[in-house]
Amino acid sequence: MPSNKPLGIGFIGSGFMTQFHIRSWQAVREADIRGVWSPNQAHAEEAARLANEYRVGEARAFASITDMIASPDIDCLWICGPNHTRVENMEEIVDALERGVGTLTGLACEKPLARNVAEAKRVVELVEKSGLLHGYLEDQVFSPSLVRGRQLAWRRGAALSGRPYLARAAEEHSGPHAPWFWDGIRQGGGVLNDMMCHSVEVARFLLTRPGAPRASIRPIAVTGHIASLKWTRPEYAEILREQYGMDYAQQPAEDFARATIEYVDEQNHPLIAEMTTSWSYVGAGLRLSSELLGPEYSLRINSLDAGGTVFLSRNVTGRAGEDLVEKQNAEQGDMPFVGNEAAEYGYEDENRHMVRCFVDGVQPVLDFHAGLEITEMLMTAYMSAEQGRRIAWRPENLDSFIPEVARGVWKPGHLDDRPKKN
């Protein structure tokens, strides 16, 4: 039987993602946020104060991950630090557990699971060694609009006219918040690695029959394309250099990516997933969009349609901010707003699911193995973009493949300029 004592949650990382999770925790029961660790102690203290302000737990900053594990207040860890620290963080967790410093119930890890397949496999190896429950934090498949829309499309459309065959998913905004996101080496790539991890799983989720396992549809081939459309232009490269210390004239990462994944279902019906991601989209703010098409029906979702709009005339001039929508780009005109971003983007339901699984002692629907599969898809898309061809699943040498962007040697160009490999 589950204990009446709320789980104590500790966060690894104190940045943008952790703060979104903290906001979502107002809708989570059976767990309290009790700790935050960051290599920047001041940032950890700031995140802990935020948790206390929201009254989602008596949180405090810890000096190390090991100290959090040693604390009797901490039962589970949410791993939300930069991509290049994933393996290091996991190794410290497993080392502390093996030395008997403390005990844990579960781990939840933000997207992507790692920068490449080799690192993702190492993370999976470590979590299996720990014996802990583990969940992969993909918030968008918990978005209420997406979950409800999928349910209706399958229950009413697919039940009468046949399964859906085409899914589209896109995430677009004007660029990330922190310097390491822009760094292809630390991040593991550009926008493809940063955001297509969302879109790949959203499209797969839509194409998978409710109640069926993820493996009920199988990938057959992947085609990818990456480009730098905006941020290597001299005037914008200079903005990155001034704001983040990144030199995109010498070491760029892609700001646009698209991929097509071909699947088959259990009856060998062909299915198509199309994904697009961009750091070069300038609209009101972050735009999450998805579609699902079947024989006699279609589903369409756009996050910028989720709330209302407020019109601000040219005489209304205020400071720049993100009080209307994430990655906001304007403060005038007919501006959309999202009433509760933490709910609409899926964080609330995602965290409720993870907590409930850990309380009940069961594995979450999405675990680290799912995160590994998504990383494999992303790396195959990079491989396809570099080779300029469709790649059959599962390609050789995927485990050792590191994208050119992640090695700091990628040079933007047209797809037709890339060498073709037969």
CATH domain 7-139 topology: Rossmann fold (3.40.50)
Provide the pLDDT confidence category of residue 321 given band limits of 50, 70 and 90.
Answer: low
Query: CATH 3.30.360.10 spans which residues of the chain?
Result: 141-347
CB 270 within 8 A of CB 186: no
Provide the pLDDT confidence category of residue 3 given band limits of 50, 70 and 90.
Answer: low
Tokens for 139, please give them: 């918030």
For the cut 60, the answer to whether the pLDDT of residue 418 exceeds it is no
At residue 414, the pLDDT reads 53
- Which CATH class for the 141-347 domain? alpha beta
Q: Over the chain, what is the mean pLDDT?
A: 93
What are 22-40's pLDDT values in tens digits? Answer: 999 999 999 999 999 999 9
CB 139 within 8 A of CB 110: no
Provide the pLDDT confidence category of residue 416 given band limits of 50, 70 and 90.
Answer: very low
At residue 123, the pLDDT reads 98
The percentage of residues in the chain with a pLDDT greater than 90, rounded to a whole number, is: 85
Query: CATH 3.40.50.720 spans which residues of the chain?
Result: 7-139
What are 170-184's pLDDT values in tens digits? Answer: 999 999 989 999 999
Which pTM does this prediction carry? 0.93
For the cut 50, the answer to whether the pLDDT of residue 1 exceeds it is no
At residue 415, the pLDDT reads 45
What are 275-309's pLDDT values in tens digits? Answer: 999 999 887 778 899 999 999 999 999 988 877 87
Q: Which of 25, 31, 27 is nearest to 360 (CA)?
A: 31
Provide the pLDDT confidence category of residue 117 given band limits of 50, 70 and 90.
Answer: very high
